[in-house]
Structure 1
Amino acid sequence: MQDTKKDARSEQIEEAAYAVLAEKGFAGASMLSIAKRAKCSNETMYRWYGDKVGLFRALVTRNADRVASVLRQAAAQDRAPLDVLEEFGPLLLDTLLGERAVALNRAAAADASGTLGQTLAEAGRDTVQPLIVAVMERAIRQRAISGPAEAACDLYLSLLLGDWQIRRVVARVPVPSADMRAARAKRAIQGLRTLMPAT
């Protein structure tokens, strides 16, 4: 299959996976039910993804890659670290607070086995957080803030996300607008500068 056709087919499968996940949760989302929704063969599903965990790992990895690529590109361009994070914040919020992430988080919370939660952590946060720490290390070296970098990363994520992610998962707030996400990202950087000032 040509790469463009395979990419389009993968997108159909992933759309179907999110739809089935939202309807049935992780436990009820079988490979067969997703294959039927995507109008593809069960054999294709197993050949491409291995199993259900592999499929959902692919979903999380695609989301994580979207935000991680921004940090990798910024590192290659050697841009001012806190400027990078201010631009990165709205994209991270868009990814974490969108309908797809909400569906994944709701399903992970309902999955008593913890399998989906572990997959979310490994393919998502464990991929992106070290890149944010690396940006913080650069900011500390450039004397934009003080360290340690891990604490700066934790503070930044707390200021950026607050309880928005939880409130989205429990359907208490709508998806924040682009303006709201940009304002939140700006405040997170201001808070980081205030609470961890360069010495």
Structure 2
Amino acid sequence: MSDQDTNLTPEAFTDRQKAVLDCALQLLVEGGEKALTTAAIARAAGCSKESLYKWFGDRDGLLTAIVARQASKVRAPEALNGPFSRETLIRELYQFAENLLQVISSDVSLALNRLAIGQASRGDATLGQLLLKRGRGRIGAQTTLLLKEAMAQGYLKQSDAGSAYDVLYGLVLKDLHVRLLLGDQLKKAEQDYAAAGKQAVDDFMKLYAASTE
């Protein structure tokens, strides 16, 4: 892994770097792994290969930045400062669930996951580990903090916050991701992410909401 890995945080990307990474993601969608070369990215983004190396380091560093850029599109709720209401908690979870469904179902996320699966089947789990760490891991850590604080404020039953997050994540995605990866063409009615996310959070609250009595 590139020495620059620890510095590649989505918050540190400039607008220009974000645009370059988005070009790389689109190349991946359109042409797969073979299209994801520094020459092709530089050409599509209108920058030099030298700039790519300066910003992201070697190919592993570039790949790490690409994953970080896509993962940053999931707006995971952060632990809120100070006391917050039960309604605020639920609103934050609704927004998180809807956004997670939108990003996970995008052509870019599907292309990244298919590439990771293909590489892992050939014995290279590098991209898969990146997706787990910078995708689900980052999102999970932030959301778990919110759930932990909600438990401390008495809105959720006292439980392991990490396990509670795993349940929430499963309720939101169900088997949607697997179906999409396998090429399932979902009906338009099934793509109401706001309604699906709301239902998932409501189901989660039925399991974890603390008694108000």
* Bin for the TM-score computed over the shorter chain: 0.7 to 0.9
- Paired with 1:33 and 1:175, the residues of 2 have a C-alpha distance of 34
What's the TM-score once normalised by structure 2's chain length?
0.77
Whether the 8 Å contact between 1:144 and 1:193 is mirrored in structure 2 is no
Which among 55, 66, 70 is matched to residue 63 of structure 1? 70
- Which residue does the alignment assign to 1:33? 40
* TM-fit CA distance, 1:194: 2.0
> Which residue in 2 is equivalent to 1:107?
115
How far apart are the structure 2 equivalents of 1:122 and 1:26?
A: 20
Go from structure 1 to structure 2 and tell me whether the alpha carbon gap of 1:177 and 1:41 turns closer, same or farther (over 3 Å shift). farther
The amino acid that maps onto 2:74 is V
* Sequence identity (%): 28
Cα distance in 2 for partners of 1:177, 1:144 equals 32
What is the CA–CA distance in structure 2 between the aligned matches of 1:45 and 1:160, rounded to whole Å? 36
TM-score (norm 1): 0.82
Contact 2:21-2:69 within 8 A present in 1 as well? no
**Is the aligned partner of 1:172 residue 2:188?**
no
Alignment-mate amino acid for residue 43 of structure 1: E
Task: Return 93-102 or 17-26, whichever deviates more.
Answer: 17-26
Structure 1 moving runs of 4+ over 4 Å: 174-179
CA distance in 1, matches of 2:58, 2:187: 31
1:163 to 139, 151, 175: 175
Partner of 2:81: 76
Q: Which stretches in structure 2 are left out of the alignment for 5+ residues?
A: 1-12
Deviates more, 1:25-34 or 1:104-113: 25-34
Structure 2 equivalent of residue 96 of structure 1: 104
RMSD: 2.7
Offset at residue 114 of structure 1 (A): 1.2
Gap change, CA 1:78 and 1:26, over 3 Å in 2: farther
**Which secondary structure does the structure 1 equivalent of 2:54 belong to?**
helix
Question: In structure 2, how many angstroms separate the alpha carbons of the residues matched to 1:168 and 1:140?
Answer: 34
Mapped to 1, the partners of 2:82 and 2:69 lie a distance apart of 23
